[in-house]
Every structure is written in C-alpha cells, then in structure tokens.
Amino acid sequence: MSSGEGQHDAAPFRRSPTGPRVAPARATDFAAAAPSSPAQVTDGYAAAFKWRRLASVIFFIALVLGTGIRAYRDMSRPDAWSFWKDQYVSPSLSSALLADAAIPGPGERHAVLAVSGRIGPAAAVWFRDRINESHLKPGDVVLLSSPGGNLEQGVMMGEIIRARGLATAVGAVDKGGRIRAGSCASACVFAFAGGQTRYGLDGSALGVHRFTSAAQGEEAVADTQRVTGAILGYVTRMGVSSQVIEAMSETRDIRWLEPGEAEAMRLVTAPLKPL
C-alpha cells in the first residue's frame, strides 16, 4: 500500500497502535434524542388528567346516588307524597279572582280572591302563590268556602293573610261573578281568623269542632295539649277570644256558630247586611 493511499484512508479511519485500523466514534445526535424527555412528561400529565376526570365522575355519581336515596326516603313517607300531589298534581283548593267587586254593607270595592275546596297538605304554599299572582294589596278580600282539612295549613294560610294586611269573608262566587253566602268550618276558621278585617256576610256560617289526633294513649293527650296551646296562642294574636277554643272542645261534630256568637268571640269584626 502506498503512502498516498494511507493518507487517503486516514480520514475515515484511524490506526490502532496495537491492531488494525478502526472507525472513529460517531457523534451523538442530540437533536434526535431531545424529544424523548418531553414525551415522558406528556404521558404523565395525560395519566394524571385521566385519574382526575375519573375521580370527578365517581364524585358526581356518589352525589346523585346520595340525593336520590334521600329523595326516595322522603317520598316513601305517605305525607310527603300527599304534599307533592297537592302542590303539583291536583291541588285540593281552587280560586277565582274578582278584580273589582262590591263588598256588601260598606259599599267599598276591592279585589276579591275566592278560595274554595278542602285544605290539603300543601294548601299554604298554593295559597301564597295565588295571592302573588293576583297582586292583592292591603284591604283586599279573601273569600273562603271550605269544609276544613289540614289544621296546620289552615293556620299558615291565616298567617299569610295577616302578613299581607288582607280582609276575610265567608262566601262563594257564582257563575255570574256574584258573591253568595257560603260556609267555612274546621281548619278554614283559622284561615278566616287571619283577616285584618273579618266580614260576616249574612247567611254565611262558621263551624268549629274538637280536633282529632292520630296518636294513641298518653301520646294523644300530650299531642292534644300541645296543639291546644298553639291554637290558643294563634287566635290570641289574631285578636280572637279564647271562647272559640271552648266552643271547639264541646263536640267532635261541627258546631255552627250563631252570628251573635261569632261576633262575641270577635271572630267576626264587621257584620254586613244581607246579600
């Protein structure tokens, strides 16, 4: 081999002092190796994101199940279903609005919201919504015609009436839009008692009776005492005599009060002339 050839071959090879010529070490391609590190970071981030998303889904499912179980427990109670049905499906009360009606006696004209039917377990909520829709103002009249029903709801209706400064009367509205005599008994009487002014339309009647308890034995006695105390406090705040409680306790059947009795008990504060 000539020296020219050795010089020509020296570029790609180098001579080993102890052996044949070997190829020089190849330079590391850093540009090609660089992406490997970011790829590992990206994969780790994707895995963490998947776990967070899975945890969010599990939390949402647990929340829905917890809410569903509580709702089922609530709806499994008989009174809960009755409340829901009375409020959303088939309300036990109905109403009609007379925007400008003449009240017999004083000759004043007011908006009159006529409410009739049995007082159900959601009556107070339904009643409040009807008042809001009717835009009644203080001095306007709630005309009641009901055989009674839920005692607690009747009291709540009375509280709403008093808070709005409304008057009450017992009667109904006929197909011609005229106010006629009616009746209001049992729990309806406590709704009537909420009136700021309580009109006594001639021919209309108020009926009271002893309330009943579903409890038995000593619990029934305790329940009766508790309810009697609550009712006494309510009628006293409404300006009604405690005599109405005495009249209630006399019989389990409806006792229709004479007009003079209703006035003496301050249940009626403004007796009116015949319709």
Per-state percent for the chain, helix, strand, coil, to nearest 5: 45, 20, 35
Tens digits of pLDDT across the chain (275 residues): 444 444 444 445 455 555 555 555 555 554 444 455 554 545 555 666 677 777 777 877 876 666 555 544 544 555 666 777 777 788 999 999 999 887 766 667 889 999 999 999 999 999 999 999 999 999 999 999 999 999 999 999 999 999 999 999 999 998 888 889 999 999 999 999 999 999 999 899 999 998 776 666 667 677 778 888 999 999 999 999 999 999 998 888 999 999 999 999 999 999 875 54
HEC states along 108-126?
Answer: CEEEEEEEEECECCCHHHH
Dmax (CA) of the chain: 147
Domain residue ranges in the chain: 34-75, 92-271
What's the CATH number for 92-271? 3.90.226.10
Give the CA radius of gyration of the chain: 42
* Burial per residue of 142-168, b for 16 or more beta-carbon CB atoms within 10 angstroms, e otherwise: bbbbbbbbbbbbbbbbbbbbbebebbb
